[in-house]
């Protein structure tokens, strides 16, 4: 049994959601979220010049994802909702700016490489189930998904080496960053659950997949499975409680 089986929220829309509005907002978050990711990787490159070439390559990939998603949107009369995306991403940008100003590369890599990438993978992969309704979207999201996994592969290798035999230090870092990071990105996942359901996906499954995916990434860094699962449940349960009780998220 996975975390998703036990703790995923029940994502039934509290009120009907317009399908066009739903896809506009989802694509808005995808397009502008990728642009934020590109900026974050470029900021990370400034802090670690020894990894600059690779991180700028990652930034270029994220920027290309945004371009692909914008093209797919245009081809399907979808207008990516920038206002909605800005509202969801402002909190993330503030965190990124704070970590960059502090010269905290490891905090940035946890925010971008673990938390943000977990949400991207948890939504892009299931979107492939409905992508053929939107000509051009399948190839864009499949390639973006493959490249997000490529980024995560390097991120987990870096963290595993950086914190080799220093599990407590890594968990302290993750705990410090996750307090705000999960509240931001996990909160966005909860808030788009209705939109995912409206276009034919399971918002609950996507949220649960994000939790399971984040647990797996902690394991790849070197955290024992039960400890990783406990850590993730502790992070997400407050969000799930808010969602289920109609409380404000973020």
Rounded distance, CA 102 to CA 236, Å? 26
Q: What is the pLDDT of residue 180?
A: 64
* 136: pLDDT strictly greater than 90: yes
CA 186, 91, 106 angle in degrees (round to 5)?
75
The DSSP secondary-structure symbol of 131 reads G
Domain 14-244 in CATH 1.20.1260.10? The answer is yes
Mean pLDDT of 126-149: 95
Portion of the chain with pLDDT greater than 90, in percent: 59
Q: What is the pLDDT of residues 40-78, one digit of tens each?
A: 999 999 999 999 999 999 999 999 999 999 999 999 999
pLDDT at position 211, please? Answer: 82
- Of residues 236, 21, 249, the one with CA closest to residue 119: 236
Res. 3: pLDDT tops 60:
no
* pLDDT-derived band at 175, boundaries 50, 70, 90: confident
Higher pLDDT among residues 46 and 235, named by residue: 46
pLDDT digits (tens, 9 = 90+) for 177-218: 876 655 555 567 777 888 998 999 887 777 778 888 888 999
Could you tell me what percent of the chain has a pLDDT over 70? 83
What is the C-alpha separation between 40 and 69, in angstroms, rounded? 19
> Between these two residues, 114 and 109, which has the higher pLDDT value?
109
Q: Which residues contact 226 (CB under 8 A, 6 or more apart)?
A: none
Please count the CA atoms within 13 angstroms of the CA of 86 that sit on its side-chain side. 3
């Amino acid at each position: 049994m996975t975390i998703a089986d036990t703790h995923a929220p029940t994502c039934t829309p509290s009120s009907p959601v317009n399908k066009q509005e739903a896809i506009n907002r989802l694509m808005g978050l995808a397009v502008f979220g990728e642009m934020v990711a590109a900026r974050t990787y470029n900021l990370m490159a400034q802090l670690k010049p020894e990894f600059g070439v690779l991180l700028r390559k990652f930034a270029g990939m994220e920027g290309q994802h945004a371009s692909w998603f914008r093209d797919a949107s245009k081809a399907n009369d979808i207008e990516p909702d920038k206002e909605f995306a800005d509202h969801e991403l402002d909190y993330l940008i503030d965190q990124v700016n704070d970590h960059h100003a502090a010269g905290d590369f490891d905090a940035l890599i946890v925010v971008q490489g673990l938390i943000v990438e977990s949400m991207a993978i948890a939504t892009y992969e299931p979107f492939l189930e409905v992508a053929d309704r939107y000509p051009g979207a399948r190839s864009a999201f499949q390639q973006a998904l493959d490249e997000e996994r490529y980024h995560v592969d390097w991120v987990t290798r870096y963290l595993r080496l950086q914190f080799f035999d220093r599990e407590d230090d890594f968990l302290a870092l993750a705990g410090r960053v996750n307090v705000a990071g999960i509240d931001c990105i996990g909160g966005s996942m909860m808030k788009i659950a209705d939109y995912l359901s409206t276009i034919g996906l399971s918002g609950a499954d996507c949220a649960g997949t994000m939790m399971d995916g984040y647990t797996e990434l902690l394991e790849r860094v070197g955290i024992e499975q039960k400890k990783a699962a406990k850590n993730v449940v502790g992070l997400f349960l407050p969000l799930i409680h808010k969602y289920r009780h109609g409380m404000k998220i973020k």
